[in-house]
């Protein structure tokens, strides 16, 4: 399948064989692309390699989603400490 986006030709291919453990990605990656077709292509490519992708329309949305994701794992005491640090610097 060939995608033509903003003057670029991108070819989508299915992997010939499942990726080995050594070549699979780990972690979550924010992806900011305004063009929906490019965003979908890159997201699917990364997901096939084992990455978790937070696909966003722009950088601001990507940063906001990544901060929200990280904050969800903080305990309330650690969160309160971060807020106090920020207020002390202000």
Residues in CB range of 69: below 8 A, 6 or more apart: 28, 54
CB 43 within 8 A of CB 68: no
43, 55 contact by CB (below 8 A):
yes
- pLDDT tens digit string along 3-48? 555 555 555 555 545 454 445 567 778 788 888 899 999 999 999 9
For residue 11, being part of any structural domain is answered with no
* 65 within a domain of the structure (yes/no): yes
What pLDDT does 64 receive?
A: 83
Residue 21 lies in a domain: no
Predicted pLDDT of residue 1:
47
What pairs with residue 54 in β-bridges? 30
Return the sign of the alpha-carbon dihedral for residues 53, 54, 58, 60: negative
User: Distance between CA atoms of 56 and 63, rounded to whole angstroms?
Assistant: 9
Residue 15 lies in a domain: no
Work out how many domains the chain is built from and give that number.
Answer: 1
Query: In the prediction, which pLDDT does 83 show?
Result: 79
Residue-range definition of the domain harbouring residue 42: 2-6+28-89
């Amino acid at each position: 399948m060939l995608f033509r986006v903003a003057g670029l030709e991108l070819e989508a291919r299915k992997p010939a064989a499942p990726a080995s453990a050594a070549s699979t990605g780990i972690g979550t990656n924010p992806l900011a692309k305004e063009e929906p077709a490019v965003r979908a292509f890159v997201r699917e490519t990364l997901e096939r390699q084992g990455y978790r992708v937070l696909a966003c329309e722009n950088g601001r949305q990507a940063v906001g989603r990544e901060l929200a994701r990280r904050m969800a794992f903080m305990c309330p005491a650690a969160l309160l400490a971060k807020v106090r640090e920020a207020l002390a610097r202000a």
